[in-house]
Amino acid sequence: MASNEEPVTKTKKPSDSAFKQQRLPAWQPILTAGTVLPTFFVIGIAFIPIGVGLLYFSDEVKEIVVDYTNCEQKLLNNNTKEYDISSGETCAKIIEKNSNAECHCAVDFVLPEDIPGSVYMYYGLTNYYQNHRRYVKSRDDNQLLGHLELTPSNDCNPYQIDKKTQKPYAPCGAIANSLFNDNITLYSKSDGWVPLLKTGIAWPSDKNIKFRNPPIEQGGSLEEAFKPFAKPPNWKKNIWELDLQDPNNNGFQNEDLIVWMRTAALPTFRKLYRRIDHHNSKYPAFQDGLRKGNYTLNVEYSYSVSGFDGTKRMILSNTSILGGKNPFLGIGYIVVGCLCLFLGVLLLFVHVKCSKSTTEMINVSPRTPY
């Protein structure tokens, strides 16, 4: 017996729903003088005081910048055992000739006013494009999580495997290979050496989640875990030697490495290098900040910037409730606020002078001139 059911035909027609047939309710603003002019005035009146406040808090931040790119080499004085004899040659040229050379230099500077509160030391680089696409990709996040049994990612090329020993690099990639490795210390001529902390400089989320050391067997060491791996070609130390005094700040969890691996968006940038220890009872002179006076910046110069025409700076700064010094944001708010007020006044003048009254608009006829 034949079936009376009609065969179901396939169709590409969308279902009859409000979403697929574009019948959802919508709202479109009607731009009239009554809606546009108040918006301009409200934005202008709100943005200007916000910008003034941002500028005020930015000016509250005290900072000093010391450029040490071309500092002269200091030689060791055999009598005092200190580096105080100038060779007349810059460390930049010495490192450019021999990347493995050791060079010490010192830069004297004056702190013109006290820096109160918690003081931080940054290093700054210029003309350094950490945002380059291939550079940003040149890392292996699985390896940085301590999974050393995995072959490093191909994104790390050409810093994936050491061609001489056939050992994979740990950490691999161009970002890790270019790690900033200058050793910077600070000396106050009135209060002595400034105590600096190596920890507390990285984001807690990076330290606790994104970077992990490989598991260590009972009785083993971090050195044994990294033995099958080679250090990046530009490194002078192995990964397990970054901080031998603090095992929680060594290996992949070294905070200098973690800070460097968070790439900068602009070619001129600064990264947190050290925190001044304000709670050490051995250094009472620094418990309330940094006093004004004469200081010396001592540098073990290792990081070459001459290849990309860059510069190196050391920055000492405190912070406000809004963070570091950033006048651009305040200036931006003030400029936008003033521009909105100007446009509001201009459009109000045009509206008053050129617009037609309600009576004129009602009495529009085919003979009305336009």
The 10s digit of each residue's pLDDT in 195-241 is 999 999 999 999 999 999 998 888 788 999 999 999 999 999 999 99
Tell me which DSSP letter residue 6 carries: P
The 10s digit of each residue's pLDDT in 57-110 is 999 999 999 999 999 998 867 666 576 777 789 999 999 888 888 899 999 999
Contact assessment for residue 305 and residue 69, using Cβ atoms and an 8 Å cutoff: yes
Contact assessment for residue 263 and residue 130, using Cβ atoms and an 8 Å cutoff: yes
Q: Is 206 helix (H, G, I), strand (E, B) or coil?
A: helix
Nearest to 310 by CA among 101, 103, 70: 70
pLDDT for residue 128: 96
- In angstroms, the CA 117 to CA 287 distance is 8
pLDDT for residue 75: 80
Confidence bin at 40 (pLDDT 50/70/90): very high
Contact assessment for residue 252 and residue 144, using Cβ atoms and an 8 Å cutoff: yes
Confidence bin at 15 (pLDDT 50/70/90): confident
Average pLDDT, the chain: 90
- In angstroms, the CA 211 to CA 213 distance is 7
pLDDT for residue 5: 61
Confidence bin at 183 (pLDDT 50/70/90): very high
pLDDT for residue 281: 87
Confidence bin at 29 (pLDDT 50/70/90): confident
Find where tokens 């010094």 sit. Answer: 325
- In angstroms, the CA 197 to CA 279 distance is 11
Residue bearing the bigger pLDDT, 317 or 23:
317
pLDDT > 90? residue 336: yes
pLDDT mean over 337-353: 92
Tell me which DSSP letter residue 286 carries: G
The 10s digit of each residue's pLDDT in 272-331 is 999 999 998 899 999 999 999 999 999 999 999 998 999 999 999 999 988 888 899 999
pTM tops 0.95:
no
**Residue 156: Cβ within 10 Å count:** 25
